[in-house]
Structure 1
Amino acid sequence: MTTDYHIIGNYISPYVRKVLVCMELKGLDYTIDPIAPFVGNERFSELSPLRRIPVLIDDDRVVNDSSVICQYLDERHPQPALYPADIGDRAQARWLEEYADSWLGDVVIWGMFYQIGVKRFLFGEQADEAIVSHAREEQLPQTLDYLESVLPAEGFLFGTLSVADISIASFFRNAAFVRYTVDAQRWPRAAAFLERTLALPAFRKLATYEERMLRTPLPEQREMLRELGAPVSAETLGCATARKSMARRD
């Protein structure tokens, strides 16, 4: 088992969470520089040209994009497999991963979490309430209608836990940060699926770090995480001035 993996990315990010859950499930050791993309320095820009997280560093190799990283890790460490063996199921798992990364990224992250949290605390800007309302009252219910039609009543999407399950749950974890709760009467499958997936030990371990980070000022987060036992790296690519990423949307 390699101990050379290094992750650049904040525990609060659903994209980082997806990768870290995969690493936890595979028993992979890593160090982490838990920065948000908005406070990355020029070296971060060199490693991540779009100023997005996570970034995986494996010796001299730099791998960007959470989906690419997860597939890279799954091919390097095949057990437990996080992509279904059946070609059709594997295609569907990749589609649901992409659906989460792109659409839930738009709705939950840019429509809600960025507006309510990041804009206010990093940039001193007010949320655009029209964007938040549209995401919360229109887009997310439409999303849950779709997920209710594909999620299983019990267990996971393809029998055993896959990257699709991990991806979907990772974004709804961020929805909870802005006080969104899935209505179990309207979407019983989705609510039960999220409850059992987020209760998995890999998610719960990361939740310990996430919950403390949400209550800790940015300059104090690295030391707090070290005290909790997180594998925080000695060096950081963070800087004092927040800078909007190329992925940013208002």
Structure 2
Amino acid sequence: MTLALYGHEFSSYTWKALIPLWADGTAFEFRSVEQHGPAFAALAPFGQFPLLVDDGRVVAESSIIIEYLQRHHPGPNCWIPDGEEGLRVRFLDRVFDGRIMDTAQVAVANALRPAEHKDPYGVEQGMERLRRHYDWLEGELGDDGWAVGDRFTMADCAAAPALFYADWIERIGPDRPKLAAYRARLLAHPAVVKAVEQARPFRHYFPPGAPDRD
């Protein structure tokens, strides 16, 4: 087997790389950093996962991993289309990573801080930004389908873990029905279902405490 993906089952960005691998039916070996920590540390340029290794070639960063897979190990899905549609996919990929997932991480990071270094004001500012990002997405999404039309793309690979975990931090709520319905469609996708179930035993790792749902 030539492909190996290093990551953690509970990691949002690991999910993002696993979803296209599973959806395409690509042969690969998953190497959890819990069992392969030293090997991962020797390869990772920034100490972050996921990390794809292809016959000794190391590919870092989840979006780049997906683009690499499409270029060198193509499957039945087109993750980044050509032309204007591809630009939209790349843009929404950045929105879900940077505006949703990374903003939600403000509350996660705060939960890990010692009591004397908690920053409730910073968390509330972060959650206000997250609510604004939710509102923007509510106005951008269609009533059905995926992030960019009818094709499941890299944008959806980013959206699935981002909205899964962000909703644990700050509920999307009934006032954003299109975004809530989109999250539900994502969580019903077979590759996302597999990611959720593989991560289920690790829910106790969620610093603010995992809700009893999803």
Say whether the fold is shared (TM-score over 0.5).
yes
1:186-237 CA-partner distances (Å, limit 9, x unpaired):
21111111111111111111111212111379xxxxxxxxxxxxxxxxxxxx
Task: Measure, in 2, the Cα distance between the counterparts of 1:212 and 1:71.
Answer: 30
Among residues 78, 98, 103, which one is paired with 1:81 in the alignment? 78
Aligned 8 A contact 1:19 1:66 in 2: yes
Task: Measure, in 2, the Cα distance between the counterparts of 1:187 and 1:149.
Answer: 9
What is the Cα deviation at residue 103 of structure 1? Answer: 2.4
Matches within 5 A, 1:38-117: 41=38, 44-75=40-71, 76-85=73-82, 87-109=83-105, 111-116=106-111
The reply on whether 1:200 has 2:198 as its aligned counterpart is: no
Where 2:204 maps in the other structure, the secondary structure is coil
Task: Measure, in 2, the Cα distance between the counterparts of 1:134 and 1:161.
Answer: 32
The reply on whether 1:169 has 2:160 as its aligned counterpart is: yes
TM-score, structure 2 length as denominator?
Answer: 0.84
1:29-80 CA-partner distances (Å, limit 9, x unpaired):
32223237xx955x54442222211100111111001011000111221421
Aligned 8 A contact 1:93 1:162 in 2: yes
Query: Structure 2: which amino acid aligns with 1:172?
Result: L
Instruction: Determine the structure 2 residue equivalent to 1:146.
Output: 136
Query: Structure 1: which amino acid aligns with 2:6?
Result: I
Once superposed, what is the RMSD of the aligned Cα atoms?
2.5
Task: Measure, in 1, the Cα distance between the counterparts of 2:138 and 2:176.
Answer: 6
Q: Where do 5+ consecutive residues of structure 2 fail to align?
A: 207-214
Aligned 8 A contact 1:63 1:69 in 2: yes
TM-score, structure 1 length as denominator?
Answer: 0.73
What is the Cα deviation at residue 102 of structure 1? Answer: 2.2
Report runs of 4+ in structure 1 exceeding 6 Å deviation.
123-126
Instruction: Determine the structure 1 residue equivalent to 2:119.
Output: 128
Higher helix fraction: Structure 1 or Structure 2? 2
What is the Cα deviation at residue 130 of structure 1? Answer: 2.3
The reply on whether 1:191 has 2:180 as its aligned counterpart is: yes
In 2 relative to 1, CA 99–200 (structure 1 residues): closer, same or farther, beyond 3 Å? same
Query: Structure 2: which amino acid aligns with 1:103?
Result: R
In 2 relative to 1, CA 145–72 (structure 1 residues): closer, same or farther, beyond 3 Å? same
Aligned 8 A contact 2:7 2:30 in 1: yes
Aligned 8 A contact 2:2 2:28 in 1: yes
Task: Measure, in 2, the Cα distance between the counterparts of 1:115 and 1:165.
Answer: 27
Aligned 8 A contact 1:53 1:64 in 2: yes
